Structures are given as C-alpha cells and as structure tokens.
Structure 1
Amino acid sequence: MLKRVYLEITNVCNRACAFCPGTTRTPHFLTEEEFDRLTDALRGETQYLYFHLMGEPLLHPSLARFLAIAGEKGFRVILTTNGTLLGEKGEILLSAPPLYKINLSLQSFEANRGGELKDYVNRCAAFAAKAGAAGKICELRLWNHGGLESLNGEILSLLALRFPQPWETNARSVKLAERVYLAEDDRFDWPDPAAADRGERCFCYGLRDQIGVLCDGTVVPCCLDHNGDVPLGNLFSQSLKEIMSTEKARRIYDGFSQRKAVEELCRRCGYARRFT
C-alpha cells in the first residue's frame, strides 16, 4: 500500500508564486463523477489522499463534497493551500471529519507580494489555531531558505503574537501550539526537462511511497511532475495495479532501488537530491 497519493482536484491556481513552475496543461477542475471514479480506483491503495499536486484546492467549488466522498470511502485527506481563500473556505475545512492535516504555504506571500503581510499572517495563524482546536494538524510552512526570505523575520514575529514563545523545537519542525507546527526548509529546484542534467545517481520515494494522479487521470511517479512529463498510464481507463506493473513503472522503481534515475526528468530534479 502506498503511504500517500497526490490526487490533483484542479490544476488552476489563483497565485503565480516565484518558486512554482506552474503548468502548461489544460486548466481543469475534476467533476464529481470524475472524482468518484478516481477515488474508487484508489480504494485499498492508500489511506491518505493529498488534494493537490498543482493548483489551489480551495478554488474548487465542490471541495466540501469531495471531502465528504473521501470520508465515505475511508480516506484521510491532507491538503496544501496558499491560505488566501481561508476566509471563504475555512469553515468547510474545519467542519470536515476526513481532513487530517492542512499545510499553509506562508512563503507564497513574498513570492507574490500582494496585500498586507500582517493581515495575511494573522488570518493564517487564526485559522491554524482553530484547526488545532478542532483536532486537525496544521503546518505553517516557510520553505524558502536560500530564496525569497526577507520577510521571514517579520512573519515569525507576527506568529509569536498569536502563539506565545518559547516554542517547542524538534528535529523536523517547531511546535507553536497543540497540533500547530512551523516548518522551515530550503527552497528547492523543481524537475525541469530544460534544466541541467545532475547525473543518474539519485533516489526518490516516487512509486515506492507515493504517486501523483493529475486531474485528467494521468498517473505520474511523484508529486513534482507538474506537467505530466513521465506519464505511466491513466486511472480512468486502467487499474493502478496495471499501471504500476508496466515496464516503464518497474524500470523507474528498480532504478531508484539501485540509486539510479532512469528518466531524464528525474535526472533534472533538485528535490530528489535530498535523499541521495
């Protein structure tokens, strides 16, 4: 069983972050019928569904229904959002029993520079506190070290007003309150066919712990294949078992087992170097 599946409910976003490569794929929002079919195909394959790969999941008009369907089928849901729509969709998230964790990408503010930082951080922090009180994990992310990070100090000061210090620090994050965490990390380079070849020595958890399902049903090896450059099959017409058993999928899996990237895109991925 896979640890997680990234099920992209839309590839449309309301921001254009400097750190995000975007996608050249046709804009699409999953219909309820499509979501029902894809989640049926994923039953028994994973416990955790991530409602994103590209796109802003809070944009989807059927978000509440999708959360309900996922819960009916026994999934736990995790989603990542830029937080700009929490005022409109926050209550949907807080009242959804299947929602296990919410990641708020605070680095998206500086990557766009729109609106007031104080208002944005206060809104995200207030939601995080409510989410924690509702029994959901909320992670506030600053994954921008080495990139656009000049506002990080101000963001941390604003968070300290909502979540008084001292904060409890562990190896991977900082605990701000019960079930509320701050995670800081380095900016990374997304895989890009036009990027420099980093060599074949590489390891990735793609196809081992996770896969991605794009909003047209295309199955890709990991959550960073934003343009579907490594298609393995389509979940609308094939079972996941069939897709994972293809020669292409096996070659990728076996390659990573030997610490080798056999796909050109994987050879050009900065994130995978963290595991090499």
Structure 2
Amino acid sequence: MKKFKRCYIEVTNICNLNCSFCPPNTRDKGYMSVENFKYILNKIDKYTSYLYFHVKGEPLLHPEIGRLLDISEENNFKVNITTNGSNISQVKALLLTKPAIRQISFSLQSIETYSDNQEKEEYLKEVLGFVKTAIEQTNITIELRLWNLETCILKDNPNTYILKIIEEELNLPSIMKDITTNNKGIKISDRIYLSQSETFQWPDINIEPINTVGFCYGLRNQIGILVDGTVIPCCLDSEGVINLGNIFETTMDEIVESKRVKDIVEGFSNRQVIEPLCQRCGFRTRFDIE
C-alpha cells in the first residue's frame, strides 16, 4: 500500500473569486507548467495513486487543465478536483471526456460572491446541470459542499435557498429532514453527496495558538505540493510556512524521511502538536477527541 492516500497538487494559486472564507495568499501567482507537473508525478509515483488539485487557487482556470488530466491518466493517477464551479460551463465538455477524474467537489459556499438572486440561481443551475450530465455520462462522484455554517446545530439552516434549488434541479425528494440534525455528509443520490459543515479558521502563524494538544492526518495519509514545488504537510498550509523542502531540488525520499517530518508525525501520534502553524489551525480541531 502506498504511503499517502492523497497528494494535494496546487496546479495554480490564481483564483477568480474573493470569498470571505478563503484568505488570499501572498505568494507569487502562477500556473504550474506541464513539464513541472510531469516531473512531480514521476517523483511521487511510489507514494500515492490519488491527486487532489487543490490548495489555493481555482484549478479549472489552468489553461492546460485538459493536458494535466491526460497526463494523470497516462501515469495511472486518479484525480479529485475542488472547485468553486464559477467557470464550469466553459470546461464542462472537456471534463466529461477525462477518465482520470474520480471526484469533483463543488464549494457552493462560493455563492456568497454573487450579488443578486438571479446570479446566484444561474450559478447553481450551471453547476447542477453539469452534475446531472456527469452522473449520466461518466463515473465521476460529486460532492456538494456547504461549509459555511456558524454552528453544527442546524435549527435555522442558512442554506435553505440553495438546498431547495438542489432538490428541484436534481429532481430529489426533500433532503432537508436528513441534514437538520447533524453536519455530516450524506448521500442524496447515486454518486452525489452533500456535505454541510461549520466555517473553519485557516491556520495563521500570526494569531495566538489554539492549543498544543491534538491530532491531524497531515503527513500521515496526505501531503501537499505548492505551485512552486514547495512540499507541505497538508492542503491548509497555503503560505508554505512548514516548508519541508522543494520537490525540484530535493527527492521525496529525503523529504519524507527527514527529521522534521518524523517529528510531526510522531507528535500527532502522541497527541502533541509540534509545529507552531499547526497549533494555530482551526480545521485540525475537528479531529480532537471529546
């Protein structure tokens, strides 16, 4: 079995939206070249079989997204894409022909960036139109994310408007009753999943630590690579604060076997949060033991 269940590859850190839940990154903006992408796949082949086009940026903006998916298939990788869905109509036909795609996760909370109800409805219908076609014509699994709740106690669901459109467009029976008592993902149709959850705090090295006790899957079953080749523990180190090395300068073997990586993993095994950035990560607290 390969070490990592997922490897996050930031094919671009450029995004076309400015969502409140996603802090802007301060790194130089760019797209990963096809050549660099090929190089990375060659270096991580023995470590994972699953790629996640996600850290910062909107992956479907990449001008060579089709080629990246083809290269992934040629090298026997399965791809998971996280997208805001804003340009799905432009890439719909292309995505439907790419067997490398295992799953597409739509961050529907991005709807907040649309100014009026007509724009919001058009956005949702474009995304859901793709969902229907993808289910009919491909083997792609769909995740609809609404990670915008203030609390997991859903007495007054702020997403009622969105959920009603999902019901109508996908011709589903009422799904409200299934999601008003918890924030866990539920299956709403064949290969379509709905995930509601609380808004989380991105790690920020400049804030006060949340705690120093806890657990995380970073470097245990996942690893990330930023657009410039910087290797990071997970998809939330969006500034590359925990720089484990650069894949264009260091081998993956050297990175994975480094003392810093081993210390991080051992720390989490003992419920000790070693890295200062990890101590300031709100998402990590989802794995805390009550």
Q: For this structure pair, what is the TM-score category when the shorter chain's length is used for normalisation?
A: over 0.9
- TM-superposed deviation, 1:178: 1.3
User: What CA RMSD, in Å, does the superposition of the two structures yield over aligned residues?
Assistant: 1.7
Matches within 5 A, 1:234-245: 234-245=246-257
Which digits, 9 at most, give the CA deviation of each residue in 1:70-123, with x for residues without a partner?
Answer: 01001000010000110101122111001000000000111x234611111111
Q: Is the 8 A contact 1:190 1:224 kept in 2?
A: yes
Cross-structure match for 2:195? 183
Unmatched 5+ residue regions in structure 2? none
1:143 to 126, 147, 163: 147
The AA in structure 1 aligned to 2:55 is L
User: Is residue 251 of structure 1 aligned with residue 263 of structure 2?
Assistant: yes
The AA in structure 2 aligned to 1:70 is S
Matches within 5 A, 1:18-97: 18-97=20-99
1:233 aligned counterpart, secondary structure: coil
1:12 to 11, 14, 17: 14
Q: Is the 8 A contact 2:149 2:158 kept in 1?
A: no
Which digits, 9 at most, give the CA deviation of each residue in 1:41-66, with x for residues without a partner?
Answer: 11121111001111000100000000
Which digits, 9 at most, give the CA deviation of each residue in 1:128-155, with x for residues without a partner?
Answer: 11122221101111011118x9851110
The AA in structure 1 aligned to 2:233 is P
1:35 aligned counterpart, secondary structure: helix
1:6 aligned counterpart, secondary structure: strand
Cross-structure match for 2:234? 222
Which digits, 9 at most, give the CA deviation of each residue in 1:197-250, with x for residues without a partner?
Answer: 112102110000101100111100111000000000111122211101111111
Unmatched 5+ residue regions in structure 1? none
Paired residues, what number? Answer: 274
The AA in structure 2 aligned to 1:160 is E
User: Is residue 128 of structure 1 aligned with residue 128 of structure 2?
Assistant: no
Q: Which moved more, 1:98-107 or 1:88-97?
A: 88-97
The AA in structure 2 aligned to 1:4 is R
TM-score, with length taken from structure 1: 0.95
1:264 aligned counterpart, secondary structure: coil
Provide the C-alpha distance between the structure 2 equivalents of 1:246 and 1:215, rounded to a whole number of angstroms: 22
Q: Which moved more, 1:80-89 or 1:171-180?
A: 171-180
Q: Is the 8 A contact 2:144 2:195 kept in 1?
A: yes
Provide the C-alpha distance between the structure 1 equivalents of 2:188 and 2:280, rounded to a whole number of angstroms: 36
Q: Is the 8 A contact 2:11 2:31 kept in 1?
A: yes
Provide the C-alpha distance between the structure 2 equivalents of 1:66 and 1:234, rounded to a whole number of angstroms: 20
Provide the C-alpha distance between the structure 1 equivalents of 2:97 and 2:49, rounded to a whole number of angstroms: 20
Q: Which runs of 4+ in 1 moved over 3 A?
A: 166-172
- TM-superposed deviation, 1:195: 1.7
The AA in structure 2 aligned to 1:117 is K
Cross-structure match for 1:113? 114
Provide the C-alpha distance between the structure 2 equivalents of 1:241 and 1:114, rounded to a whole number of angstroms: 48
The AA in structure 2 aligned to 1:199 is N
- TM-superposed deviation, 1:174: 2.8
Provide the C-alpha distance between the structure 1 equivalents of 2:221 and 2:277, rounded to a whole number of angstroms: 19
TM-score, with length taken from structure 2: 0.90
Q: Is the 8 A contact 1:129 1:180 kept in 2?
A: no
Cross-structure match for 1:165? 173
Matches within 5 A, 1:190-209: 190-209=202-221
Among the aligned pairs, what percent are the same residue?
Answer: 39
